[in-house]
Structure 1
């Protein structure tokens, strides 16, 4: 691997901001110092005061491989991810075939090793008939175990009380839960169909997948976890009401944690008239009051990490009537620029953003030697410069070819992304020769 010397950067790490140089060699951070002289560095980058941050570790993406090549692949979506400052991702199991067997898990790892530009890990899925396999999993082989307690179909919707009891009692590693109460959603949808027929508007989405549907499911998950001592991580919180279920404590003091996704921090229900199905996602984007409560909780220890839930669908699919349009947004390419808007607006300190996108994710998933700017750690780095980024002027790298941020301009952009010591993204270009590494989970 080449060595990289980054000079004159503004580092953000473990609550501190400081000026320093950073030297990368053999894939790892060799030295951090006020000034470094190394004439043997293969590549030298003058950061000229840019932010130097640990790359984002995204705990929740849907890269669509195998099974949906028109929507995305590990190759296309990892390219988009490094452009957005994401150096590592953990992919969800609802592919085709779903990641419900050890064979399917091994196949995903093989595919990623061949094509992924970013570091990678994979969550294992739960169905109604693979609990023996889940209970016997080696915790170091999977990022986590994902259960859809609502908002899924077929065999991956797990809402039988007896199956859930066994799952929460026997799962050998961290359990990730998508929490929505399907009977409530179905009843709400039936009520809306009486008003609108089959012409339900996208703005009704948060009325169908409402706060009550979320709370009924997430409160059940928390209750089960407390009773069985499960290490539970609740995904993509969307409501102020749910926040009361989670403690404002340090990560090391908790066995029940929660994630918020960037679109739930950046959009609210006032965006449906202009964006419609483009921001249709599950759980739904809700009110401004909910959005503001989530932002406040990120500033505390109540919400532990920020993810993307990147879930691309084709443009044609999103143009269908609301009832037929699929849920999900492509987000990874603009992850850091979009989140830096919260820093620029004074909503989040940049040190908090780094903690919730890198430090805490590495800690929560027990990923060794990543997520921090520390000598000896893998060099997963992102340089962010205070320069306007007009989204429409940048090619969309995701296979689906669109973004809900079209027409926007961000105040920061990612100038360089380094993945395991390799330059993956530099001044608007992906390094096609970069290959990420498999994440390790030390449990």
Structure 2
């Protein structure tokens, strides 16, 4: 029987995985500079967590979750996003009681959604996300947005477009909700069944519908910015001012609606302009969710965060021909000539690695010429050659591959030699 990888998943092989390591390292470094700490949560959770945290009117909950019943009869779901799990952990572990507030967290890990696989969208995908919990200050909204923008910029992405909007506070959203119901209700029968179900539960989600996005009522639907109260307007004005002070360009789009039910006030997306991206141009999305912690059983706690797909980021880097600095060179390749030399070479390789250098040796009993070719394929900077003569003299021949220069040195000087040359 021939086994094949499940649809919507991928194997990340050597040669590509190094790109992932660079991106993940950059994510961890920028979070260190912004003082966000890593959190790791389970890959599966109780299904009810995502129904409450993500929203039961969303496509994620209604159509895309991987849900199953475990042997104990419990409904379990593979996590489709990272915010709900992070907030659950924040509540369960009482991080709101820690003296240092707000609680600033980040995560990097696989998520799962059953949707039609396409370029930049997989059924198993990796998200990098941050969550700042415990502050209702609009300046932290700007900080979260700045972190995401700097992450992309430092990796070398160009033609980025930041789009922001305000969904308003509870009062503003309620006023806008009633306006949307009055706007769509007379002709709601012309919309898809999903939109018809959303009319009363969450009419804002109608604006995010992909099936009916060209309907004429979409173009003249009431805009949330027209229903912001004074507090919401002042909040949004501060976010815009801080971003402007940071010299971060943005566009205000009153039609921007995040796909999750828990957002309020600031919402944002980071897109990339240019050819080669197909229909998916959004790289990152996020916003404020002041009611989510209470919904999951915690105290009243404001929060804001974002999540982005590593797969989509790597696709954007490839389209823009951005080369990440992969270290493809091996520090040293140890060549052994003869059975006894092979045993000695294993010990020498061990000591080289123990000293912090990358090293490889032959395990297939190849001839000298074939071992030199192998060293060249590994792009080794140095080759260390040992045979019967070198064993007798307790020496080793070291050759610099780029210049061809070689010399014979005492074997106990090899580590110092590599240290001086490779520092």
- Bin of the TM-score, shorter chain as denominator length: under 0.3
Which gives a bigger RCO, structure 1 or 2 (Cα 8 Å, sep 6+)? 1
Which structure has the greater CA radius of gyration? 2
After TM superposition, the score normalised by the length of structure 1 is 0.26
After TM superposition, the score normalised by the length of structure 2 is 0.27
* Greater helix content: 2
